[in-house]
């Protein structure tokens, strides 16, 4: 299992007239979490795109438990529960506020794709190598 935590301050643009963060914007919190998860592996998502690979989101399931609010300092916890074996990678995200209340959970599935051919490809070996050390031998 590979887990990272990132902090995000909620700015005004993300709120809606219900006085909370608009539900559609949680995708951005999870995106920021995934980006930092990659960065901590030594590979930025920018690097991945520079390799000619894009990672479109193909599935996202969000559960909204408590509202995130303006100026909240959120913690997004991003977890890779399984080592990706092929073109698919699944991230689990949890969003907490400063009172450590769980605000939402998200499961996001992305594909690794060759940007030029627009075809699925396996997770690059270098990246897989970087993740592998976080998984016990019996999970590989």
User: What's the min distance (Å) between Cβ of 134 and a second copy?
Assistant: 23
Span of 21-29, 76-84, 123-131, 132-140 interacting with a second copy by CB under 8 A: 21-29
CA atoms of 33 and 49, how far apart (whole Å): 17
CA atoms of 140 and 135, how far apart (whole Å): 7
Distances, alpha carbon 134 to alpha carbons 3, 39, 106, in Å: 9, 15, 21
CA atoms of 114 and 120, how far apart (whole Å): 6
Active site residue 16: yes
Asked if residue 11 binds a second copy (CB under 8 A), the reply is yes
Asked if residue 43 binds a second copy (CB under 8 A), the reply is no
Span of 64-72, 79-87, 95-103, 120-128 interacting with a second copy by CB under 8 A: 64-72
Given candidates 1, 7, 51, 58, which one binds a second copy under the rule CB under 8 A? Answer: 58
Which residues partner with 46 through β-bridges?
none
């Amino acid at each position: 299992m590979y887990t990272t935590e990132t902090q995000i301050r909620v700015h005004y643009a993300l709120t809606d007239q219900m006085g909370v963060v608009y539900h559609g914007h949680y995708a951005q919190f999870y995106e920021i979490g995934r980006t930092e998860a990659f960065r901590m592996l030594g590979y930025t998502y920018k690097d991945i795109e520079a390799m000619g690979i894009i990672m479109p989101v193909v599935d996202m399931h969000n559960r909204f438990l408590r509202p995130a609010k303006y100026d909240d300092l959120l913690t997004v916890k991003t977890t890779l529960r399984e080592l990706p074996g092929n073109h698919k990678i699944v991230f689990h995200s949890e969003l907490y506020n400063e009172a450590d209340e769980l605000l939402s959970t998200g499961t996001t599935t992305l594909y690794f794709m060759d940007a030029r051919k627009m075809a699925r490809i396996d997770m690059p070996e270098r990246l897989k190598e970087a993740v592998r050390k976080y998984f016990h031998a019996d999970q590989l």
